[in-house]
Each structure stands twice: as structure tokens, then as C-alpha cells.
Structure 1
Amino acid sequence: MAVLTKLTAAEAKVFLRDPGAPAIVAGIPLALLLVFGLMPDANQPDPKYGGHSPLATVIAPMAVTILLAMLALTQFPNAMGTYREKGLLKRLSASPVPPSRLLAAQLLVNLAAAVVVVLLVAVVGKLALGIALPGNPAGFLVSIVLGALALFSVGLLVAALAPTGRAASGIGAALLFPMLALGGVWVPKEQLPPVLQHVADVLPLGATLNALRATWAGDAPEALQLGAMAAFAVVCTAVAARVFRWE
């Protein structure tokens, strides 16, 4: 536990030392929230969203989901790919410190960053824009935990396969952008064709977004969304553990 604590503290310093990473991770979700929040009637009830405002039922969940996806599919795999490229993982494998501790430390740092920014989105949205807090807090918590597990398991699989940081970023982006298009980010789920609506509910990013949308509006997430997130988390983690190489 002491080794993990020290590694986590060291990884947190590396993360914070790069001014670009915290700025992008926090800046993009908050910018989305504020830009759309300043649009006329963004926080007014809309029949298209069950009488809830677009800001609460679309934009705020979208900001949270994009945050998780950025950390899981780009930031985390890039760091692990860079360490593999520089030989750090190979050196750690020959030391008394299990290389898996570095993996755990990276995950903890990224998850901590996610928690901080999610709280910022909720607080800034509430104080600056008057966005209602999630109407189903328990469902929201379950959805965000499963969503984070699903997205980070995909990121773990990318990290397991990418030989370099650049390759990890490229693979992560190649996964991220189609999931943005098919998951209900670029076009809300309600406006997608019926077949693509089901696709949006099974992809990890789409399942996370649409479960958060439902719980923010006070409804329960769909079983299909929760099941898809749990399945991705289990399957991708198992495959990543099997194919992961430290050099």
C-alpha cells in the first residue's frame, strides 16, 4: 500500500506538471457547459426532453461523458504507451515493485481527475447556470461508476496493445470519434434512426451518456445501458489482462 501511495503521488505530480493536461481535461467540459448554457432558453423546460431543460438533460451529461472518454481513451493510454516506449515498464518489471502498481497509480490519478471535474461541472452548472442537480442521485452514481469502468477498460485494452504514446493516442482517437457520432453526442439519441438508437445504448460512451441523461432527469437508466457498460468493463479488462505486455 505504501508503494502504491508513493507511485500515485508521483503520477499525480507528473499529471499536474503538464499544464496542458489539466487545462484540457477541465476546460473542455466546462467550456461546453458554459457556451451552451448561455444560449437562449437552454435552461427552460422543453417538451422534446420530457419537460426538462436541454442543459440538464443533454449538455451537462454530455460534458461529464466527454470528460470520462477523454481521460479513458486518450490521456490514460497515452501515458502507458509513453512509459512502454521509454522502457520504464521494462525496468519496473525487473524491480521488486510490481509493474501493475504503476497501472493502478495511473488509473487512480485519472479517476481522481474525473471526480474533481464532475464536481466542478455540477457546482458551476448549479451556481452559474441554475442547472438542477441529478434527479435520481443513486441511479446517477451507479451509471457514472459503471460508465467509468467501461470506458477505462477500453482504455486499458488500448494501453495493453499500443507500443508508443503516439500510437495509443491514435488508437484512442480512432475509437473516440466514432463513439461520439454513434453514441448520441453529435446528434441526440432521440434524433437518430431506430437502429442507431439501440447502437447508442450499447456502445460504452453512448450507454454512459444516455444513462446519465436519464438519471439527471430523475428517471432510471435502462437495463440495456447498465448491462452493456458492465459487459464492456468485464470483457475488455479480461482481454487487456491477457494481452498486456510490459515491453
Structure 2
Amino acid sequence: MTATEAKLFLRDPGAPITVVGIPLALLLVFSLIPGASQRTEEFDGSSVMANLIAPLSVAVLLGMLALTIFPTFMATYREKGVLRRLAASPVSPSTLLSAQLIVNLAAALVVVLLVIVVGTAVIGMEAPANPLGLTISAVLGTASLFAMGLLIAAVATTGRAAGAIGSAAFFPMLALGGVWVPKENLPSFLQGLADVLPMGATYNALRETWAGGDPLLLQLGSMVAFTVVCLVLAARLFRWQ
């Protein structure tokens, strides 16, 4: 089932091109800015690329996969009756759900590695200075965002509805989470919110660890809390038909 879902994912040119193209395009376009890869005191000795752009590329990738692409696939299967037919077959719908998660998580892992390799080998960007902290932040961020995606998939009746709900969650979190505008440049009453929303918590934790620091407990706690709450709600609300 996982191999079949992977083939379907790759057969649709839109998803792979979007997943790979947007993060790498962000990385390469911003690298053309003079001095983008030079270390500065403004970012505690790290470059703009390592402190802002590389974490932004990873956070945007995870958000797109978790909040738009993954729930749209699942809701489309529900809309077309695929889940209902699978429920009457030896292959359980939960197997399809697991296969979809594996395919999307594998795509996320590949592109995160591409961002790191292209950034360090081609652009001359610094490698993550706290790889363990970065890994923990990426794992928890992925869990929280995909838990939200599962919740969207649980309530969306059609693929179009899932895309609309996912976009309604994705774009506000880009603004309020300090992704488009760094959280330190947000109004003071929004800076705390930037570390609470799943997208902002993921992005800001990646920024901290890429520069060599540790993620904030608020960021880690928020990602864990969103993961648990969204998974519980998704399990209660999910319908196969």
C-alpha cells in the first residue's frame, strides 16, 4: 500500500514539484542577496541564510505537506468512496492512512536533507550548529503539524474543502507565527503567540537550534500539546465514509 501511494504521489507532477521546488527556490533566490551567507552580529554570528531562510524553507515545506497536501489526498479518497470500499476489503482504511503518512513524512525528510545539503555545499551556508536540538524540533514540529492535518482530514468532506481549511490554517500561521516576519519584529503582544502556534513554534525552534541555541520550553510544550489535542480530536471525529 505504501509503494502504491508513493507511485500515486509521484505520478501527480504538482505535488512533487511543489514540495521540492518551493523550499529550494526560497533557498536559492534568497542566496542571491549580497551578504546573505555572511555571518553577522545581528544574528549572533550566524548568517541570514542559516538564521532565517533555511528554517523558513523547512517550516513552509512541513506546513504545505501537513496542512494542504496530506488532508486533501485523504478527503479526496473519502469523497470518491475509496475509503468506504477499502473498509469492505482485506485492506483496512487505517493501512491507507499509515501509508499516506509514511509517504508524506518520507517526502519531508528528503527535502529537509536537500535544504541542508544544498545550503551548505552549494550556497556556503553554515550547517546546523545544534543538530540534536534541530532534530528534536523538526520531529515535534512535524508531529504537531501532521496532527493538525489529520484533524482537517477528519472533518473535511471533499478534497476542495480540505484544501480550503488547510489554507485557512496555513497562511495565518505564516503571519502570526513569525515566519514571514521574524517574531522579534512583530508587535510585543504577538511575540508570545509566535512561539505557541505550531508553525511558529516549529520555525522559531529551528531558528534557535540552527544558530546553536536550544529550543524554548514554550515551543516544545506547544508542539507536544497541539499534537496530543489534535490527535485525540481527529480520532473522535474521523469517519471513513
TM-score (norm 1): 0.96
Residue 192 of structure 2 corresponds to which residue in structure 1? 198
Aligned pair partner of 2:61 in 67, 77, 98: 67
Paired positions, count: 241
Cα distance in 2 between the residues matched to 1:186 and 1:120: 21
Aligned pair partner of 1:78 in 72, 77, 83: 72
Q: Establish whether residue 34 from structure 1 lines up as the match of residue 34 from structure 2.
A: no
Once the two structures are superposed, what CA deviation does each residue of 1:173-208 show, in whole Å capped at 9, x if it has no partner? 000000000111111111011221100000000000
SS at match of 2:96: helix
CA RMSD in angstroms, aligned pairs only? 0.7
Q: Establish whether residue 239 from structure 1 lines up as the match of residue 240 from structure 2.
A: no
CA shift for structure 1 position 15: 0.3
Aligned pair partner of 2:205 in 207, 211, 215: 211
Q: Establish whether residue 222 from structure 1 lines up as the match of residue 220 from structure 2.
A: no
How do residues 5-24 of structure 1 correspond to structure 2 at under 5 angstroms? 7-24=1-18
CA shift for structure 1 position 43: 1.0
Query: Percent identity among equivalent residues?
Result: 65
Once the two structures are superposed, what CA deviation does each residue of 1:1-25 show, in whole Å capped at 9, x if it has no partner? xxxxxx1000000000011110110
Once the two structures are superposed, what CA deviation does each residue of 1:213-247 show, in whole Å capped at 9, x if it has no partner? 00000000000000000001111011000100011
Cα distance in 1 between the residues matched to 2:35 and 2:154: 45
Residue 96 of structure 2 corresponds to which residue in structure 1? 102
Cα distance in 1 between the residues matched to 2:125 and 2:72: 34
CA shift for structure 1 position 93: 1.3
TM-score (norm 2): 0.99
Structure 2: segments with no counterpart, 5+ residues: none
Cα distance in 1 between the residues matched to 2:240 and 2:154: 8
Once the two structures are superposed, what CA deviation does each residue of 1:87-106 show, in whole Å capped at 9, x if it has no partner? 00011112222211110100
Once the two structures are superposed, what CA deviation does each residue of 1:34-80 show, in whole Å capped at 9, x if it has no partner? 00011001111222212211110100000000000000000000000
Aligned pair partner of 2:180 in 186, 190, 195: 186
SS at match of 1:41: coil
Which letter does structure 2 place at the counterpart of 1:221?
P
